[in-house]
Amino acid sequence: MQTAIPSLVPNVVLTGLVNAGKSSLINAMTRESISIVSEQAGTTSDPIKKRFELLGVGAINLIDTAGFGDTTHLSHARYQKSIACIQEAHLVLHIIDAQTWHIFDQKKDLSYVTKKSLLVFSKIDLISPDEEMKLREQYPQALCVSVENEASIEALLKAMANQLHQQTPLLLDGIKLAYPLLVHVIPIDSEAPKGRLILPQMQLLREALDLHLTSVVLQVEELATYLTKHQEIGLIVTDSQAFKEVSAINTKRHPLTSYSILQARQKGDFSYFLQSLEAIAKLPNPAEILMMESCSHNVNHEDIGRIKIPKLLQKLLPHHTLNFHFFMGQSFPQSLETYDLIIHCGSCMLPAITLQQRTKQAQLAKIPMLNYGLFLAHANHIVEEAIAVFSEEYP
């Protein structure tokens, strides 16, 4: 059974009662006429999505939903579509008409919001200064905005950016480097996309720039020459498939890890992934292995999930019958009890919330789960080396 996945681009969903001012706000934020604005309640029937560049964050999806409290014959269908948007949201803006603030029941009216949310009172220009003061005293954490007041819209956009920044840690968060130099070892094989880098490689380069670290980008065959000339290296990061070669070249034992392992720590339950490594040697015979990859693509002879990892696992367990079950894209089994081990991709095309949900599902089913990078480190007997940079967190 297929489960929904939030977009990798953050979804910011506007919800609230009909005529709360959601459509006017989304038009004011984008400075475009995206949603129809009308005095008639229930004008917005289907969710309306607008891609928007939020300063300090980048691309987000602004989603205007049908208002709650619709009394038309389509109210149930509209309600279900709005709830579906909320379930896939990274941030929910709950919009309340400031003229109705005194009858707003936060516990009751926000009962459907389980995601991170901001409380926003709209049409603040339509109430008296005394009423506004009382509102602000009652809800000091809320934002009071008016489409007639550009400063209030800018304050809302800044608050959205702050909330989105807090949701996912960076790849290098908490890592202490002895030297401000990152060596990015990026193999270019038949699976590498032509003319571009993959997402975690770009993310790490950007983080290095933000942290004022020096980055050197090279391929495996160039690494040995570089290491003979440079000794003060903070961290070598490579593709997990090149772990064995890079580790052999790294005779000075500079700190080494992979993009996939950085992502496992950034997005998932890294302690559970490490714990699950112990389950490999204890797999039953026969064993059912779930191979999970977050993006759909065609397969060739160098495919890591369908070819390389299955071969390595069979090599580790030569006397076992291993049955591999492959899932790609948004498909993730609702029932995991039939599997003995889950090996997940690095999840570069998944938001953290989805990998966390999948990991929690595996934990509840008591199924060991790890990712490609950790498995490849294990298969090459270099787990300790590959996670040494996190030793203070995972001794």
Segment 368-375 shows an average pLDDT of: 95
336-355 tens-digit pLDDT: 999 999 999 988 877 787 88
In this structure, the strands spanning 181-185 and 58-64 are unpaired
Residues of the chain with CATH 3.40.50.300: 11-165
pLDDT value of residue 48: 86
Q: Which of 115, 13, 3, 113 is nearest to 61 (CA)?
A: 13
**Span 42-50, average pLDDT:** 66
307 DSSP assignment:
I
Give tens-digit pLDDT for 87-132: 778 899 999 999 988 887 766 666 655 557 899 999 999 999 999 9
**What ranges in 139-196 are assigned the alpha helix state H?**
150-165
Q: What are phi and psi of 166, to 5 degrees?
A: -80, -10
- The Cα 4–Cα 155 span in angstroms is 31
Determine phi and psi for 74, rounding to 5 degrees.
-95, 5
pLDDT tens-digit map of 226-252: 999 998 999 999 999 899 999 999 999
Is the pTM above the cut of 0.85?
Answer: no
Q: Inter-axis angle of helices 372-379 and 309-316, to 10 degrees?
A: 40
**DSSP structure class, residue 2:** B
Higher pLDDT, 329 or 185: 185
In the chain, which residues fall in CATH 3.40.50.11420?
Answer: 181-263
**Topology adopted by domain 272-379:** Rossmann fold (3.40.50)
Q: Which CATH fold would you assign to the domain 181-263?
A: Rossmann fold (3.40.50)
**Fold category of 11-165 in CATH:** Rossmann fold (3.40.50)
Helices (H), 250-308: 259-267, 270-277
Task: Give 8: exposed, middle or buried? Use CB within 10 Å, 0-12, 13-18, 19+.
Answer: middle
Sign of CA dihedral 219, 224, 225, 228: positive
| Res. 72: pLDDT tops 70 | no
Please tell me the distance from the alpha carbon of residue 224 to that of residue 92, in angstroms, as a whole number.
50
- Residue 35 in this model has a pLDDT that exceeds 70: no
Instruction: Dihedral sign for Cα 382, 257, 390, 274, please.
Output: negative
- For the cut 80, the answer to whether the pLDDT of residue 60 exceeds it is yes
In this prediction, residues 44-58 reach a mean pLDDT of 80
Q: What percent of the chain has pLDDT over 90?
A: 55
Q: Where do you find CATH 3.40.50.11410 in the chain?
A: 272-379
Exposed/middle/buried for residue 345 (C-beta within 10 Å: 0-12, 13-18, 19+): buried
Over 80: is that where the pLDDT of 41 sits?
no
The dihedral sign for the CA sequence 6, 294, 189, 256: positive
CB atoms within 10 A of CB 372: 27
